[in-house]
Amino acid sequence: GDSVTQMEGPVTLSEEAFLTINCTYTATGYPSLFWYVQYPGEGLQLLLKATKADDKGSNKGFEATYRKETTSFHLEKGSVQVSDSAVYFCALEGTSYGKLTFGQGTILTVHP
Amino acid sequence: GAVVSQHPSWVICKSGTSVKIECRSLDFQATTMFWYRQFPKQSLMLMATSNEGSKATYEQGVEKDKFLINHASLTLSTLTVTSAHPEDSSFYICSARDVAGGPSDTQYFGPGTRLTVL
């Protein structure tokens, strides 16, 4: 079946540091890929998405590129802020339309 | 943006009792709602898909008689954990997709409900 593997956290960075959170997936066909973010006390929010190979999703300074050859969708940001502290989830939508398979989440803490 | 609420945000109950969790779409109508379960330091696991006016579709390994789902209106779905036991303690999250349907980027998530069974 479908699966998503994220790098284990927690990740702790200083403000303005470069961020990478690795995500790899296993799926049949051509899944759509997503990054969700969950701030404390809030529901998951869609951060960015990519629906086909080589697509780059971007939002709020975050980027991720759909790499089919390496089955990866790594999340990056060039300069993180304290307000980026949250839990980040990588997810895919496979052949079952509307159903998401999530990675285990990565806790990011950014210090001033 | 679209908002989904859950009630209660946390609940503690005794073993053997039943607990109902509500999921509401506040500013849109949802024909489909999803219920997830999240264990500590683990990913969200889809439990069931709830369609308004019809029976829920449960994922493999989820006991439908234990986790009763009702989606009686376009803005409300409920999950009832029947005869709860300590192993049912978890974080339950719902999401809702609006009546326009569409891909997963039109799903909106609730903040979750923490269930602790003593």
pLDDT of residue B102: 56
pLDDT of residue A43: 83
What's the pLDDT tens digit per position in A59-88? 999 999 999 999 999 999 999 999 999 999
CA A44 to chain B, closest CA, distance in angstroms equals 5
Query: B33: nearest CA in chain A?
Result: A98
pLDDT of residue B117: 96
Q: Which of the 8 DSSP states describes residue A73?
A: -
pLDDT of residue B14: 96
Of A32, A41, A44, the CB nearest to B109: A44
User: What average pLDDT does the segment A40-50 reach?
Assistant: 89
Tell whether B60 lies on the interface with A, counting CB pairs under 8 A: no
* Residues in Cβ contact with B75 at an 8 Å cutoff, skipping those fewer than 6 apart: B24, B25, B26, B29, B30
Q: Which of the 8 DSSP states describes residue B59?
A: P
Query: A49: nearest CA in chain B?
Result: B105
What's the pLDDT tens digit per position in A7-38? 888 999 999 999 999 999 999 888 999 999 99
Spatial separation of the C-alpha atoms in residues B107 and B104, rounded to whole Å? 5
pLDDT of residue B101: 57
Q: Is residue B51 a contact partner of residue B71, using CB atoms and an 8 Å limit?
A: yes
Query: Among the residues of chain B, which ranges form H helices?
Result: none
Give pLDDT tens digits along chain B (118 positions): 678 999 999 999 999 999 999 999 998 888 889 999 988 777 889 999 988 888 899 999 999 999 999 988 889 999 999 999 999 999 999 999 876 655 555 788 999 999 999 9
Across the beta sheet with A62-65, the strand order is A19-21, A75-77, A62-65, A56-59
